[in-house]
Amino acid sequence: MPEWLSNAVFYQIYPQSFKDSNEDGIGDINGIIEKLDYINSLGCNALWINPCFESPFKDGGYDVKDYKKVDPRYGSNTDLYRLFGEAHNRGIHVLLDLVPGHTSEEHPWFKESRKAQKNKYTNRYIWTDSCFHGADHMPFVAGESQRDGCYILNFFKCQPALNYGFLHPTEKWQLPMDHPDCIATREALKDVMRFWLDHGCDGFRVDMAHSLVKGDDENKSGTVSIWREVREMLDKDYPEAVIISEWSNPPQAVAAGFHSDFCLHMEGNGYSTLFRDYQNHTETDRKAGGIDRSFFKKDGHGDITRFLADYLPWYEKVNGKGYMSLTTGNHDTERMSYTLSQDELKIAYAFILTMPGVPFLYYGDEIGLKYQELANKEGGYNRTGSRTPMQWTEEKNKGFSDGCEDTLYLPVDLSPDAPTVEKQAKTQGSLLNTVKDLITLRHEKKDLQADGSFEVVYAEKEKFPFIYKRGNLIIAVNPSEEQAGIPNDVKNRKILYAIGKTEIYHHEGKMPPQSFLILE
């Protein structure tokens, strides 16, 4: 396990929306370099940059056309190499986004694969043997190629699935995983990884990491074996490199060799009950104030045991072998600020930043950047509203770009209470300063870092507070607007850090409304 991970706090950057350095309205690599000092000042010591490779952008860059080339709208490979160096000078590690399951339909491999004549790339993607026969239980496209056959999709129509073979082929056209052409796909994947690692990148966030082997992949054992092979390569040749998966099944992902796996928002799972439990509400419901059962909503309809029911068994299985990553959000989820107020966000982030594993902060979440209701941009659909430009200052385009307003990748928030770094940096107790304080504390206290022990002290169905132990520290979380009692064995400890008014704790030994305490 690379040691740097044990104290990593990640910052996720959606490159097109972070900082535009050349006035074309689109964020770029040089813009990221300009803001490394800012990232450093937050206390974040690692970055994940969403795909910045050549792409037709039908899915925000997750449709890669050339894995080894930075898309010109972001700059050049040389700029990215410079970013690695500048980040390293500041003690910041950089993960790129690896998309192993599919390419863009415009990738040269696919252009070859769709040809009628057999060639080196014929089996690089998964094709049936007739355009009139699709595939069971797999999305496919027919009638689009000179080649007679349907090709399998991994996500959108523009994203044909790469062929890693089938664990148990059931049709003639399904190749076994050890077929030379499927092994060639694996080797191509490793070659891409080596390319960036050799140029100074520190690893990858891996997109849809669970999706490689199709058909009946018992307990994902086929897919797991591919990643084990990748991990062996890393351990041997790049022992400091890290891979973090989008899998959302930490025990499986860690068994596959990932250093950490994201706990992600999937409808109804434990993580989704924390911050965004309005999913079953219709839009009208929500606007009419339907009950939001998120644990971090102050109304107090939440229930931490729903989160723990998933999290604790996972923690038991991965502890000592790998990590889990809790995130404030990402480019696929509505920002928490959609439903949580700045006060609610402070407590939610305090929880994320004091849990074990490797936390991630999505750009803009540190100021509570708002989710905007916007039309689809580059395949974002309802995700588009979480991908708007970072808001730095009160100046033109909120300091994101000096270009014309109508060239901006997406609009900035022009409402009078729009959050900006400039405003919040000056305000004591702002969300931004709270995030900074929490990260500083995490760096100071080993107990709070990835490997610090974790134990639940008090968690009752539909009750507050939630109390857990990290090493010798006790952490108590009361997101509700009611006071809450504290068990006797936790009382009378010294407060190391607090959100909310602490008099009630000192005088009555209770948790104040909307509060968070770290006790020594």
Q: Which residues bind ligand GLC (CB under 6 A)?
A: 59-60, 62, 99, 155, 207-208, 246, 331-332
Q: Cβ 198 to ligand GLC, closest distance in Å? A: 25
- CB closest to Ca ion, residue no: 28
Quote the DSSP letter at residue 483: -
Q: Cβ 130 to ligand GLC, closest distance in Å? A: 27
Quote the DSSP letter at residue 494: P
Q: Cβ 155 to ligand GLC, closest distance in Å? A: 4
C-beta closer to ligand GLC: residue 60 or 165: 60
C-beta closer to ligand GLC: residue 331 or 442: 331
Q: Cβ 65 to ligand GLC, closest distance in Å? A: 14
Q: Which partner in Ca ion, ligand GLC, none is near 229 (CB below 5 to 8 A by kind)?
A: none
Q: Which partner in ligand GLC, Ca ion, none is near 279 (CB below 5 to 8 A by kind)?
A: none
C-beta closer to ligand GLC: residue 29 or 99: 99
C-beta closer to ligand GLC: residue 208 or 369: 208
Q: Which partner in Ca ion, ligand GLC, none is near 148 (CB below 5 to 8 A by kind)?
A: none
Q: Which partner in Ca ion, ligand GLC, none is near 398 (CB below 5 to 8 A by kind)?
A: none
Q: Cβ 59 to ligand GLC, closest distance in Å? A: 5
β-bridge pairing 203-206 and 151-152: unpaired
Q: Which partner in Ca ion, ligand GLC, none is near 20 (CB below 5 to 8 A by kind)?
A: Ca ion
Q: Which partner in Ca ion, ligand GLC, none is near 22 (CB below 5 to 8 A by kind)?
A: Ca ion
SS3 325: strand
CA distance 294 to 288: 17
C-beta closer to ligand GLC: residue 71 or 207: 207
CA distance 422 to 394: 7
Is residue 419 reached through a cis peptide bond, with omega within 30 degrees of 0 on the bond before it? no
Side chain identity at residue 197, one-letter code: L
Q: Are 268 and 277 in contact (CB under 8 A)?
A: no
Q: Cβ 409 to Ca ion, closest distance in Å? A: 9
- The residues of the shown chain that bind Ca ion, judged by CB under 5 A, are 20, 22, 24, 26, 28
Ranges of beta strands (E only) in 113-160 are 140-141, 151-152
CA distance 205 to 246: 7
β-bridge pairing 466-470 and 473-478: antiparallel
Taking each helix axis as running N to C, give the angle between helix 342-352 and helix 431-444, from 0 to 180 degrees, rounded to the nearest 10.
10
CA distance 209 to 426: 41
Q: Which partner in ligand GLC, Ca ion, none is near 372 (CB below 5 to 8 A by kind)?
A: none
C-beta closer to Ca ion: residue 20 or 344: 20
Ranges of beta strands (E only) in 317-412 are 323-325, 360-362
C-beta closer to ligand GLC: residue 60 or 359: 60
CA distance 28 to 79: 9
